[in-house]
Amino acid sequence: MKIRLDKYLADMGCGTRSELKKEIRRGNVTVNGVPVKSPETKIDTETDKTVFRGQTVIYEQYEYFMLNKPAGVVSATSDRCEQTVTELIRDSKREDLFPAGRLDKDTEGLLLITNDGELAHRLLSPRKHIDKVYFARIEGMVTQEDADLFARGVDIGDEKKTLPADLRICSSGAISEITLTIREGRFHQVKRMFQAVGKRVIYLKRIRMGSLCLDESLKPGEYRKLTEEEVVELCSQGKKL
């Protein structure tokens, strides 16, 4: 890919476009060992070696972070009142990160933060039926009848019933613990499914999305870059389905 030198450096978090234009004109940037003073110069992101103030700047078109979303933070890029999930990612190069999907403010767990719009679109497309797995604590006794109903599809007040979902009961009592695999992403879906059987979700955490599993070593609010294998698998899964 070929892009302008000032954009190349701005995308990699070296400064604003106007600051970088000045830096380039001052001769603080070399490309393949030669000072380049024109910000419009096209850089080949694959082959050119760009050095800014003595540091080689490698271009990354996309960034992928796995966030363990904490409760109390909203799944948005900006908000006038609330802290957002992208504000938790402090060492990204790119300014154009967004959450691939939404978790409610009180939901914890796996959220992919990226600037790869194509991948996000594939993962979130209702036609792809990507698995989303949640762990939840439920007020009330969750039963096999609930599991059977969820497997057939449940009326949550939308035009259509939910798609078959896989409810596993880990423990059942006054407070039950379950995992639920759904293949859609309707608004408040897990909470509404339990509401439909007269029960209330009191804790909700997403633990998997497609091939991507939450790294349990991440505490709420912590994040890490996806490994190359995780990215490859996630990208190929979206394409296969």
Residues 30 to 59 in contact with ligand URA, rule: CB under 6 A: none
Residue from the set 14, 88, 103, 235 that interacts with ligand URA by CB under 6 A: 103
The region of 16-24, 116-124, 159-167, 188-196 touching ligand URA under the rule CB under 6 A is 188-196
Tell me how far, at minimum, the Cβ of 156 lies from ligand URA, in Å: 10
Catalytic residue among 44, 104, 131, 215: 104
Residue from the set 92, 114, 189, 237 that interacts with ligand URA by CB under 6 A: 189
Closer by beta carbon to ligand URA, 147 or else 202: 202
CA distance 240 to 64: 20
Work out whether 107 is an interface residue with ligand URA (CB under 6 A): yes
Instruction: Give the ranges where the chain is alpha helix by DSSP (H).
Output: 5-11, 17-25, 117-124, 144-152, 189-196, 228-240
CA distance 5 to 20: 9
Q: Are 197 and 140 in contact (CB under 8 A)?
A: no
Q: Is 96 a catalytic residue?
A: no
Tell me how far, at minimum, the Cβ of 105 lies from ligand URA, in Å: 8
Please give the C-alpha separations between residue 228 and each of 99, 141, 179, 206, 231, in angstroms, as whole numbers.
19, 42, 28, 22, 5
> How many residues sit in the footprint of ligand URA (CB under 6 A)?
8
User: Please, which residues bridge with residue 133 across strands?
Assistant: 181, 208
The site string for ligand URA over 190-219 (x = CB under 6 A, - otherwise) reads: xx------------x---------------
Euclidean distance between the first and final Cα of the chain, in Å? Answer: 28
CA distance 132 to 215: 15
CB atoms within 10 A of CB 106: 13
Tell me how far, at minimum, the Cβ of 74 lies from ligand URA, in Å: 11
The region of 30-38, 80-88, 186-194, 215-223 touching ligand URA under the rule CB under 6 A is 186-194
Interface ranges with ligand URA (CB under 6 A): 103-104, 107, 188-191, 204
